[in-house]
Amino acid sequence: MEFKDLDPILHSQLRLAVMSLLISVKEAEFTFIKEKTNATAGNLSVQINKLKEAGYIEVAKQFKDNYPQTTCKITPVGVKAFEDYVNNLQSYLGVKK
Amino acid sequence: MEQQPEFTHAQSLELIQSMIDKARNKYSENGFAYLLWGWAVFVCSVTQFILLRMHFAHHYVVWFTMWIILIFQLIYARKRKKQNKVRTYTDEIVSYVWITFAILMFLFGFMFGQIMGKEYYKYFNTALLALYGMPTFLSGVILKTRALVIGGIGCWVLSLVGPFVPYDYQLLMISLAVVIAWIIPGYILQSKYKKDNA
């Protein structure tokens, strides 16, 4: 069986954690993702930016009660990439589908 | 969680699983709307029953307070939407179930009014009971809350009994329906929400 390379954008602990959270919800605020992943704000910002540049997530910035609020949402491209990543992982691990 | 480029495939799957578990069941339902509408409908139906017994001509006026409750609910929902850090698909589906219910209530009210004329409200209560069951039962299934499922079924049972009960006593059946379908589950959801967010 031929193994496909795992998507390098997703094969990183924090980015994969962010994508796994976002695949389960419609949208989530930056603070929610930070809380669930236990990441630092700086590191999380960098990784979210990489996911955004890859077109895997959409990031909306707005003001709520005079405070900046960042909301993230997975895109159809992101869903497809995530599904492919999981399928490839299953192939590597010999998980029968 | 710091950036660690190298991690095994098995760790990847474990991470995905644990994150999905963290996001799952993160419902924002705090029972507020169930309690607000439950108590409002309870008070209105009991008040109308008392007014009817007192032979008050405009006994139905109590229901106009529903518009105030609706405005209050819309303001509250808007505020809550801003406060929520996450919006799940479950939240969205449940809110559309209740929007469908509100639209059906309006349409049924309009149709009954047009077809049956001024005294339509005499025939409306049993239809209302059947309608109350729909969003309650569906929300119970979606939110995995047994009290709502039982409440929804309770409304449908009451709607079957309704036609055999005189009109004024049907109002008390509405009161009973909102106790089992909205008020009791509302308190259960409220206590669950407080526990989850303690």
B88 contacts A29? CB cut-off 8 A: no
Mind listing the pLDDT tens digit for each residue in B21-68? 877 766 678 899 999 999 999 999 999 999 999 988 888 889 899 999
pLDDT exceeds cutoff 50 at B19? yes
pLDDT exceeds cutoff 50 at B3? no
- Per-residue three-class SS string for chain B: CCCCCCCCHHHHHHHHHHHHHHHCCCCCCCCHHHHHHHHHHHHHHHHHHHHHHCCCCCHHHHHHHHHHHHHHHHHHHHHHHHHCCEECHHHHHHHHHHHHHHHHHHHHHHHHHHHHHHHCHHHHHHHHHHHHHHHHHHHHHHCCCHHHHHHHHHHHHHHHHHHHCCHHHHHHHHHHHHHHHHHHHHHHHHHHHHHHCC
Reported residue count of chain B is 198
Which residue of B lies nearest to A29 if distances are taken between CA atoms?
B85
Q: Where are the domains of chain A?
A: 13-93
For residues B95 and B73, what is the distance between their CA atoms, to the nearest angstrom?
13
Question: Can you tell me which residue has the tokens 């929007």?
Answer: B99
Reported residue count of chain A is 97
B24 contacts A86? CB cut-off 8 A: no
DSSP states along A21-80? HHHHSSEEEHHHHHHHHT--HHHHHHHHHHHHHTTSEEEEEEEETTEEEEEEEE-HHHHH
Chain A residues within an 8 Å CB radius of B20: 20-21, 23-24
For residues B174 and B42, what is the distance between their CA atoms, to the nearest angstrom?
7
Mind listing the pLDDT tens digit for each residue in B115-161? 887 777 777 888 889 999 999 999 999 988 999 999 999 999 999 99
Count CB pairs under 8 A between chains A and B: 86
**B142 contacts B13 by C-beta, under 8 angstroms:** no
Query: Could you tell me if residue B121 is inside a domain?
Result: yes
Domain with B75, as residue range(s), is 35-187
Query: Could you tell me if residue B55 is inside a domain?
Result: yes
Query: Could you tell me if residue B112 is inside a domain?
Result: yes
Distance from CA of B142 to the nearest CA of A (A): 15
- What's the whole-number average pLDDT of chain B? 88
Which residue of B lies nearest to A88 if distances are taken between CA atoms?
B9
ipTM surpasses 0.95: no
Cβ of residue B22 closer than 8 Å to a chain A Cβ: yes
**A-contacting residues in B 53-92 (Cβ below 8 Å):** 82, 85-89, 91-92
Give the Cβ contact number of residue B188 at 10 Å.
17
Q: How many domains does chain B have?
A: 1
**B125 contacts B173 by C-beta, under 8 angstroms:** yes
Query: Could you tell me if residue B138 is inside a domain?
Result: yes
Distance from CA of B78 to the nearest CA of A (A): 12
Q: Which fold has domain A13-93?
A: Arc Repressor Mutant, subunit A (1.10.10)
A26 contacts B87? CB cut-off 8 A: yes
Give the type of residue at B35.
Answer: L
